[in-house]
Amino acid sequence: MSRSQLQDSIERWLFHENYSFKESKTEEDVFRFIIKGLGAYKIPIEIFEPKKQSGVIVLGGKIFLQNRHTARFLKLNEEEQQKFKNSVKDFCDSIRTVHRIFREDGKVVVGAYVVLDNVERFTQQIMLDAINQVLDMSEKTSRFIMKTF
């Protein structure tokens, strides 16, 4: 399978900026790079192109709820879980963040995402700005969850 020019460019830019990253193989994505924990909260940032959305690049930060928060969330009934999800949704909407709440490796995870769909004009600076935007949104979301849950 040949690598796309976009994938090669992103890998080169990450290397050039001295990010510590790895490539991850998934069935859902053309490619996926994971930048090891960034910022004060050590949030991993993922950059990927979904197979179902060719030409779209998604950057996302994963906020893993702490063990005590995950345990608390799992003890909630369906209505209480929905209330938590709604509060996270409202917060993410207030900071204009695309988000998703899901389970991974037994933990509850909140993903904060930026979607770039104009890849014809995709540059290193656009990617760096998007990484910083995802990191900022992820840290704000993490602080919100710690304070409110």
Residue pair 91/73 in contact (Cβ under 8 Å)? The answer is no
When divided into structural domains, the chain yields a total of: 1
Q: What is the pTM of this model?
A: 0.88
Print the domain residue range for 121.
5-148
Residue from 35, 71, 57, 37 nearest 113 by CA = 57
For each of the chain's 149 residues, which pLDDT tens digit applies? 346 888 999 999 999 999 999 999 899 999 999 999 888 889 999 999 999 998 899 999 999 999 999 999 999 999 999 999 999 999 999 999 999 999 998 899 999 999 998 767 789 999 999 999 999 999 999 999 999 98
Q: Any idea what the CATH number is for the domain that residue 115 is in? A: 3.30.1460.10
3-class SS at 76? coil
